[in-house]
A and B are shown apart, each in its own frame.
Chain A
Amino acid sequence: ETGVTQSPTHLIKTRGQQVTLRCSSQSGHNTVSWYQQALGQGPQFIFQYYREEENGRGNFPPRFSGLQFPNYSSELNVNALELDDSALYLCASRPVQGGDYGYTFGSGTRLTVV
Protein backbone atom coordinates (compact mmCIF):
# COMPACT_ATOMS: atom_id res chain seq x y z
CA GLU A 1 0.00 0.00 0.00
CA THR A 2 1.29 3.45 -0.90
CA GLY A 3 -1.15 5.38 1.26
CA VAL A 4 -2.59 8.79 0.49
CA THR A 5 -0.09 11.54 -0.25
CA GLN A 6 -0.82 15.26 -0.34
CA SER A 7 1.18 18.19 -1.59
CA PRO A 8 2.30 20.68 -0.59
CA THR A 9 2.43 20.13 3.17
CA HIS A 10 2.30 23.83 3.97
CA LEU A 11 1.24 26.86 1.94
CA ILE A 12 0.85 30.57 2.56
CA LYS A 13 -1.39 32.61 0.26
CA THR A 14 -2.72 36.14 0.18
CA ARG A 15 -6.42 36.95 0.42
CA GLY A 16 -8.00 37.01 -3.04
CA GLN A 17 -5.51 34.59 -4.56
CA GLN A 18 -6.24 31.13 -5.93
CA VAL A 19 -4.73 27.86 -4.67
CA THR A 20 -4.50 24.27 -5.91
CA LEU A 21 -3.93 21.38 -3.54
CA ARG A 22 -3.03 17.93 -4.78
CA CYS A 23 -3.70 14.39 -3.64
CA SER A 24 -2.60 10.95 -4.77
CA SER A 25 -5.03 8.29 -3.65
CA GLN A 26 -4.06 4.96 -2.19
CA SER A 27 -3.51 2.31 -4.85
CA GLY A 28 -6.80 0.64 -5.79
CA HIS A 29 -8.95 3.45 -4.40
CA ASN A 30 -11.18 5.20 -6.94
CA THR A 31 -13.20 7.38 -4.60
CA VAL A 32 -11.73 10.51 -3.05
CA SER A 33 -13.13 13.05 -0.64
CA TRP A 34 -11.79 16.37 0.56
CA TYR A 35 -12.24 17.78 4.05
CA GLN A 36 -11.50 21.14 5.65
CA GLN A 37 -10.37 21.10 9.27
CA ALA A 38 -10.23 24.48 10.95
CA LEU A 39 -8.16 24.85 14.11
CA GLY A 40 -9.85 23.13 17.04
CA GLN A 41 -12.63 21.66 14.89
CA GLY A 42 -13.48 18.33 13.36
CA PRO A 43 -13.07 17.84 9.61
CA GLN A 44 -15.88 19.27 7.47
CA PHE A 45 -16.87 17.47 4.27
CA ILE A 46 -16.22 19.54 1.12
CA PHE A 47 -16.97 17.10 -1.70
CA GLN A 48 -16.44 13.59 -3.05
CA TYR A 49 -15.32 12.39 -6.48
CA TYR A 50 -15.95 9.00 -8.02
CA ARG A 51 -14.76 8.08 -11.50
CA GLU A 52 -13.84 11.69 -12.24
CA GLU A 53 -17.24 13.11 -11.34
CA GLU A 54 -18.37 14.97 -8.26
CA ASN A 55 -21.11 12.92 -6.62
CA GLY A 56 -21.52 14.62 -3.28
CA ARG A 57 -20.93 18.05 -1.79
CA GLY A 58 -21.03 19.67 1.62
CA ASN A 59 -21.93 23.24 2.53
CA PHE A 60 -19.10 24.96 0.69
CA PRO A 61 -19.45 27.72 -1.94
CA PRO A 62 -18.72 27.16 -5.64
CA ARG A 63 -15.30 28.79 -5.32
CA PHE A 64 -14.28 25.41 -3.87
CA SER A 65 -13.93 23.08 -6.83
CA GLY A 66 -12.15 19.87 -7.64
CA LEU A 67 -10.94 17.46 -10.24
CA GLN A 68 -10.25 13.75 -10.27
CA PHE A 69 -7.99 12.31 -12.94
CA PRO A 70 -8.02 8.88 -14.65
CA ASN A 71 -5.21 7.70 -12.38
CA TYR A 72 -7.47 8.66 -9.42
CA SER A 73 -5.26 11.51 -8.27
CA SER A 74 -7.20 14.65 -7.51
CA GLU A 75 -7.03 18.39 -6.96
CA LEU A 76 -8.84 20.85 -4.73
CA ASN A 77 -9.01 24.39 -6.11
CA VAL A 78 -10.05 27.38 -4.07
CA ASN A 79 -10.61 30.74 -5.75
CA ALA A 80 -10.80 34.19 -4.19
CA LEU A 81 -9.23 33.06 -0.94
CA GLU A 82 -10.61 34.44 2.29
CA LEU A 83 -8.97 34.57 5.70
CA ASP A 84 -11.43 31.95 6.99
CA ASP A 85 -10.12 29.48 4.42
CA SER A 86 -7.05 29.04 6.60
CA ALA A 87 -7.22 25.39 7.69
CA LEU A 88 -5.82 21.91 7.30
CA TYR A 89 -7.15 20.36 4.10
CA LEU A 90 -7.41 16.60 4.17
CA CYS A 91 -7.77 14.22 1.27
CA ALA A 92 -9.22 10.77 1.88
CA SER A 93 -9.67 7.81 -0.44
CA ARG A 94 -11.48 4.50 -0.31
CA PRO A 95 -12.22 1.58 -2.56
CA VAL A 96 -15.77 1.21 -3.77
CA GLN A 97 -15.58 -2.53 -4.25
CA GLY A 98 -16.49 -4.69 -1.30
CA GLY A 99 -17.85 -3.72 2.08
CA ASP A 100 -14.96 -1.60 3.23
CA TYR A 101 -16.21 1.96 3.53
CA GLY A 102 -13.45 3.25 5.76
CA TYR A 103 -11.45 6.15 4.42
CA THR A 104 -7.68 6.37 4.34
CA PHE A 105 -6.57 9.93 5.05
CA GLY A 106 -3.50 11.80 3.96
CA SER A 107 -1.51 14.00 6.33
CA GLY A 108 -3.04 17.12 4.91
CA THR A 109 -2.03 20.50 3.53
CA ARG A 110 -1.87 23.37 6.02
CA LEU A 111 -3.13 26.48 4.20
CA THR A 112 -2.62 29.89 5.75
CA VAL A 113 -4.33 32.90 4.15
CA VAL A 114 -2.92 36.29 5.11
Chain B
Amino acid sequence: AQSVTQPDIHITVSEGASLELRCNYSYGATPYLFWYVQSPGQGLQLLLKYFSGDTLVQGIKGFEAEFKRSQSSFNLRKPSVHWSDAAEYFCAVGAVNSGGYQKVTFGIGTKLQVIP
Protein backbone atom coordinates (compact mmCIF):
# COMPACT_ATOMS: atom_id res chain seq x y z
CA ALA B 1 0.00 0.00 0.00
CA GLN B 2 1.19 3.49 -0.74
CA SER B 3 1.72 6.12 1.94
CA VAL B 4 3.00 9.66 2.29
CA THR B 5 4.81 11.30 5.20
CA GLN B 6 5.04 15.03 5.65
CA PRO B 7 7.19 15.41 8.75
CA ASP B 8 6.56 19.11 9.28
CA ILE B 9 3.02 19.93 10.40
CA HIS B 10 3.66 23.66 10.62
CA ILE B 11 6.40 25.87 9.15
CA THR B 12 6.96 29.59 9.57
CA VAL B 13 9.18 31.55 7.17
CA SER B 14 9.86 35.22 6.60
CA GLU B 15 8.65 36.83 3.42
CA GLY B 16 11.43 36.70 0.84
CA ALA B 17 13.13 33.71 2.44
CA SER B 18 13.53 30.38 0.71
CA LEU B 19 11.22 27.47 1.44
CA GLU B 20 11.53 23.71 1.42
CA LEU B 21 8.66 21.41 2.38
CA ARG B 22 9.56 17.80 2.91
CA CYS B 23 7.74 14.76 1.60
CA ASN B 24 8.61 11.09 1.77
CA TYR B 25 6.57 8.40 0.11
CA SER B 26 6.27 4.65 0.22
CA TYR B 27 5.29 2.79 -2.91
CA GLY B 28 6.59 -0.37 -4.55
CA ALA B 29 6.83 0.87 -8.12
CA THR B 30 7.48 4.17 -9.82
CA PRO B 31 5.02 6.54 -8.26
CA TYR B 32 3.02 9.42 -9.59
CA LEU B 33 3.76 12.32 -7.25
CA PHE B 34 1.89 15.53 -6.69
CA TRP B 35 1.94 18.67 -4.62
CA TYR B 36 -1.35 20.45 -3.95
CA VAL B 37 -2.04 23.71 -2.13
CA GLN B 38 -5.19 24.48 -0.16
CA SER B 39 -6.26 27.90 1.06
CA PRO B 40 -8.63 28.04 4.06
CA GLY B 41 -12.10 26.77 3.20
CA GLN B 42 -11.10 25.97 -0.35
CA GLY B 43 -10.45 22.90 -2.46
CA LEU B 44 -7.03 21.77 -3.59
CA GLN B 45 -5.06 23.33 -6.42
CA LEU B 46 -2.42 21.32 -8.23
CA LEU B 47 1.01 22.95 -7.99
CA LEU B 48 3.02 20.37 -9.88
CA LYS B 49 3.24 16.68 -10.70
CA TYR B 50 5.87 14.09 -11.53
CA PHE B 51 5.26 11.02 -13.65
CA SER B 52 8.58 10.34 -15.33
CA GLY B 53 11.54 12.01 -17.00
CA ASP B 54 13.38 14.98 -15.56
CA THR B 55 13.45 14.62 -11.80
CA LEU B 56 13.28 18.39 -11.26
CA VAL B 57 9.73 19.52 -11.91
CA GLN B 58 8.60 23.09 -12.35
CA GLY B 59 5.14 24.13 -11.25
CA ILE B 60 2.93 27.14 -10.93
CA LYS B 61 3.53 30.14 -8.68
CA GLY B 62 7.32 29.68 -8.84
CA PHE B 63 7.38 26.31 -7.07
CA GLU B 64 9.55 23.37 -8.02
CA ALA B 65 10.05 19.88 -6.64
CA GLU B 66 12.76 17.28 -7.00
CA PHE B 67 12.13 13.55 -7.15
CA LYS B 68 14.87 11.52 -5.46
CA ARG B 69 14.23 7.82 -5.84
CA SER B 70 17.11 6.80 -3.56
CA GLN B 71 15.60 8.83 -0.71
CA SER B 72 11.93 8.21 -1.61
CA SER B 73 11.47 11.95 -1.42
CA PHE B 74 9.69 14.64 -3.37
CA ASN B 75 10.47 17.91 -1.62
CA LEU B 76 8.83 21.16 -2.65
CA ARG B 77 10.92 24.33 -2.92
CA LYS B 78 10.53 28.00 -3.64
CA PRO B 79 13.46 30.45 -3.70
CA SER B 80 11.55 33.45 -2.35
CA VAL B 81 8.27 33.18 -0.46
CA HIS B 82 5.48 35.72 -0.81
CA TRP B 83 2.84 36.47 1.83
CA SER B 84 0.21 35.03 -0.52
CA ASP B 85 1.90 31.61 -0.29
CA ALA B 86 0.53 31.15 3.23
CA ALA B 87 -1.67 28.05 2.95
CA GLU B 88 -1.63 24.32 3.57
CA TYR B 89 0.44 22.14 1.28
CA PHE B 90 -0.26 18.48 0.59
CA CYS B 91 2.06 15.95 -0.95
CA ALA B 92 0.35 13.00 -2.62
CA VAL B 93 1.26 9.74 -4.31
CA GLY B 94 -0.86 8.10 -6.98
CA ALA B 95 -1.02 4.57 -8.27
CA VAL B 96 -2.73 3.42 -11.43
CA ASN B 97 -3.76 -0.16 -12.06
CA SER B 98 -4.28 -1.84 -15.40
CA GLY B 99 -7.90 -0.75 -15.41
CA GLY B 100 -6.94 2.89 -15.20
CA TYR B 101 -8.09 3.19 -11.64
CA GLN B 102 -6.02 5.75 -9.81
CA LYS B 103 -5.98 6.05 -6.07
CA VAL B 104 -4.25 9.13 -4.74
CA THR B 105 -3.02 9.03 -1.16
CA PHE B 106 -2.39 12.34 0.57
CA GLY B 107 -0.09 13.29 3.39
CA ILE B 108 -1.37 15.05 6.47
CA GLY B 109 -0.31 18.43 5.12
CA THR B 110 2.13 21.18 6.10
CA LYS B 111 0.69 24.52 7.14
CA LEU B 112 2.86 27.40 5.96
CA GLN B 113 2.84 30.70 7.80
CA VAL B 114 4.60 33.69 6.24
CA ILE B 115 5.69 36.55 8.48
CA PRO B 116 6.68 40.05 7.32
- A residues lining the B interface (CB < 8 Å): 4, 6, 31, 33, 35, 41-45, 48, 50, 55-56, 58, 90, 92, 94, 96, 99, 101-108, 110
* Total inter-chain residue pairs, C-beta < 8 Å: 65
CB interface residues, B 9-52, toward A, < 8 Å: 32, 34, 36, 41-46, 49, 51
Cβ-defined contact, A90 with B44, below 8 A = yes
Determine chain A's interface SS by DSSP, over half rule.
Answer: strand
Cross-chain contact of A101 among B41, B45, B51, B105 (Cβ < 8 A) = B51
Most chain A CB neighbours (cut-off 10 Å) among B34, B44, B49, B103: B44
Bitwise, B77-116 to A at CB < 8 A (1) or not (0) is: 0000000000000101010100111111111110000000
Cβ-defined contact, A58 with B103, below 8 A = yes
A90 to B36 Cα, complex, angstroms: 13
Cross-chain contact of B108 among A33, A42, A48 (Cβ < 8 A) = A42
Cβ-defined contact, A42 with B106, below 8 A = yes
Q: Assuming A42-B90, A42-B108, is B103 touching A56 (CB within 8 A)?
A: yes
Residues of chain A with a CB closer than 8 A to B41's CB: 107, 110
Q: What are 20 pairs between A and B in contact, CB < 8 Å?
A: A4-B43, A6-B43, A41-B109, A42-B4, A42-B90, A42-B109, A43-B44, A43-B90, A44-B106, A56-B101, A56-B102, A56-B103, A58-B103, A101-B51, A102-B46, A104-B46, A105-B43, A106-B43, A107-B43, A108-B42
